[in-house]
Amino acid sequence: MENLILKLKEEIIEVLNLEDVKPADIDENAPLFGEGLGLDSIDALELIVLMEKNYGIKLKDPAQGKEIFKSVRFLAEYIAENRTK
């Protein structure tokens, strides 16, 4: 799980162009949205694309995102349980 969390942090930094952020700067237990990284709705859409592209997970219900994107750890746990690639 810790390896997946680190990989996710690196992917998030890359796809969201968080140039000045290092993986260690992201608290895996902190909310992804609303504070901290300052992500916006476009970033949320980009994370949904990331999940499908890299892990084969297609979110059918957008409301799921609210739960899954609570934190990097939540996201990692969801991916670990649902990934198809």
- Judged by CB under 8 A, does residue 83 bind other proteins? no
Query: Which CB sits closer to other proteins, 49 or 80?
Result: 49
Q: Longest C-alpha distance within the chain, in Å? A: 33
Of 11, 27, 46, 77, which lies in the binding site for other proteins, with binding defined by CB under 8 A? Answer: 46
By CB under 8 A, residue 18 contacts other proteins: yes
Residue from 52, 41, 50 nearest 13 by CA:
50
Q: Is 4 in the site for other proteins (CB under 8 A)?
A: no
35 makes contact with other proteins (CB under 8 A):
no
Q: Does 15 bind other proteins (CB under 8 A)?
A: yes
Binding residue for other proteins, selected from 1, 22, 25, 53, defined by CB under 8 A? 53
Element (H, E) at 79: helix 72-82
Residues facing 33 on adjacent strands: 39
The residues pairing with 39 across neighbouring beta strands, listed in sequence order, are: 33
Do 84 and 57 touch, CB atoms closer than 8 A? yes
Give the binding site for other proteins (CB under 8 A). Answer: 15-20, 38, 42-43, 45-46, 49, 52-53
